[in-house]
Amino acid sequence: MIRTIVLHAAVIAGLFLLEPVLSDYHHGNLARIMVLATYAVGYNMLFGYTGLLSLGHAMFFAAGMYGCAMLIRLAEWSVGPAFLAGVLCALVAGIIVGTLALRTIGVGFMIVTLMFAEAAYLVILYYNEFTRGDEGFTIPQAVRSIAGIDLSDTTNRYFAALLLFAIALIACAAIVQARTGRVLVAIRENEDRVRMLGFDPFRYKLFALVISATMAGAAGAAYAVLFGYAGATFASVQYSIFPLLWVLLGGPGTTLGPLLGTVLMFYLVDYASGTIMPGLAALVETQFGIEAPGLASAYLLLVGVTLVLLVLFAPKGLLGTVRARMIPWLP
């Protein structure tokens, strides 16, 4: 228990202390990564701990994003209340979708969440008069402040993202350490047994889904406020798959896996698309005299190969493997 608290405190303190040290480039990246990692922490609550694979989490991210951004844009709310309203939207969406979708299990759950998310995406396009559809809209820099703190400022943005991530991480760690968390894991391992022990799995699953949706929504609202943009792309199926990949890479069912996975996937894509693959293409060109423009853009190939290697050699994700082989107490 103590070492769990120390570990999480150390991670948060580490992110805090990194702020003045990081170069502008990594500083900006990490601010964004912490927002996305909040999304992943939420996803992990449902997928990693409860064993429910959703393919529709982008709708919760988008519920938070649009709930917040539309109130700022159309009703001229200030950032604070709009952010909370966005989170509330995601929470309500979680309750509605959860009540319906949790009637299904396994692949059925994947499909139903996927279809609800698709409907949500189309709703954003259909009401384009208010949402500006796929193109989305910006939130002017001037209104992006809270209690006089300018959230578009680099340092403020970093600490705002850190605060958001820290709250999500602590909430996650607290839940999984508590009895609720153990019931969730038990549901993942064997739902029938949990039912026989007198628990109502549906209530626990709904709880996990709503928490998960709320965190996703908070991340979406934060993205809109911190980076000044809301668009339907964030509701598309691709953005439901991203947190799945981040969590799988970092380690499903570990509290810190989502952060690690988001960091690694970000830099894998960044270096592969900016450095590795163009370098490889240039090498092919100079060595063999073959122009290979296609190769320069082939970073998804690396992502694909990474996933296959991961599942073959570290099927529990990185931190899951660390826990299995080295540090059994890792939360």
Partner 1 sequence: MADSKHTAGQTRRTILGGAALLGTAAGAGLLPGLGRYAQAQTSAPIKIGFQVHRTGIGAAYGRWYDRTTKAAAKLINDNGGINGRPVEIIAEDDGTDPKRGAEVIEKFATKHECDVAFGTLFSHVVIGSAPRAGELKLPYFVVSEGHHVASGMLNRYTLQPGITDVKSQVQSMAPWVADNLGKKVTMVYPDFAFGHDHRDYFSEAIERQGGNVIAKIAIPPRETSFFKYLPKIPKDTEVLYHVMVGPGVLTFVKELGEYFGDNRPEIFGFIDSLEAVDIASPGLEFLEGSHFWEGYPRYAGENQSEHDKFYRAAVGVDDNGASLSDSKDISTYAHMFGCWETLHILKAGMEAADYKGPKDRQALIEAIENMDVFPESQAHPQGSKLFNGRTHQAFGHQHISKVEGGKLVPVHKTSIFDTYYEDEVDYTKMSF
Partner 2 sequence: MDLIALLPFDLPHPALLAAGMLEGTVLAAVLALTALGLSIVFGIMRVVNVAHGEFYMLGAVLAWFVTHTVSGTVGGPPWLGFAIALIVAPLIVAAMAALTDWLVLKRLDYDPEATIVATIGVLYIIQQLALTFYGPDARPVEAPFDFRVQLPWFGYSGYKLVVVGAAIALMLVVWLVLTRTKIGLVMRATQYDRETAQAFGIPVDKVYAGVFALGAALAAIGAVLIVPIQQAHYLMGGDPLLLSFIVVILGGLGSLKGTLVAAIFIGLSDGIISTLYEPTLAKILATLLVAMVLVFRPQGLFGARAA
Residues forming the site for partner 2 (CB under 8 A)? 53, 100-101, 103-108, 110-112, 114-116, 118-119, 122-123, 125-126, 237, 241, 245, 248, 292, 294-295, 297-301, 303-308, 310-312, 315
Query: Distance between CA 23 and CA 37 in Å, rounded?
Result: 20
Strand pairing class (145-146; 149-150): antiparallel
Integer CA distances (angstroms), 263 to 44, 217, 222, 253, in order: 15, 20, 18, 17
The least distance separating partner 2 from the CB of residue 158, rounded to whole angstroms, comes to: 31
Closest to partner 2 by CB, 80 vs 106, is 106
Question: Of partner 1, partner 2, none, which one does residue 228 interact with (CB within 5 to 8 Å by kind)?
Answer: partner 1
Residue 229 binds partner 1 (CB under 8 A): yes
Question: Of partner 1, partner 2, none, which one does residue 312 interact with (CB within 5 to 8 Å by kind)?
Answer: partner 2
Tokens standing for residue 316: 């529990």
Q: How far is Cα of residue 43 from the mean position of the Cα atoms in its chain?
A: 6
Tokens standing for residue 3: 């070492």
Residues 284-311 as b/e (b if ≥16 CB within 10 A, e otherwise) read eeeeeeeebeebbebbeebbeebeeebe
The least distance separating partner 1 from the CB of residue 116, rounded to whole angstroms, comes to: 17
Closest to partner 1 by CB, 225 vs 249, is 225
The piece of 4-12, 82-90, 214-222, 293-301 that touches partner 1 (CB under 8 A) is 293-301
Integer CA distances (angstroms), 200 to 192, 196, 203, 204, 251, in order: 10, 9, 6, 7, 27
Residue 155 binds partner 1 (CB under 8 A): no
Q: Token match 């952010």: residue?
A: 83
Tokens standing for residue 278: 């163009």
Question: Of partner 2, partner 1, none, which one does residue 311 interact with (CB within 5 to 8 Å by kind)?
Answer: partner 2
Question: Of partner 2, partner 1, none, which one does residue 115 interact with (CB within 5 to 8 Å by kind)?
Answer: partner 2
- Residues in the site for partner 1, rule: CB under 8 A? 23-25, 27-29, 32, 122, 125-126, 128, 132-139, 141, 152, 227-229, 231-234, 238, 269-270, 273-274, 278, 293, 296-297, 299-300
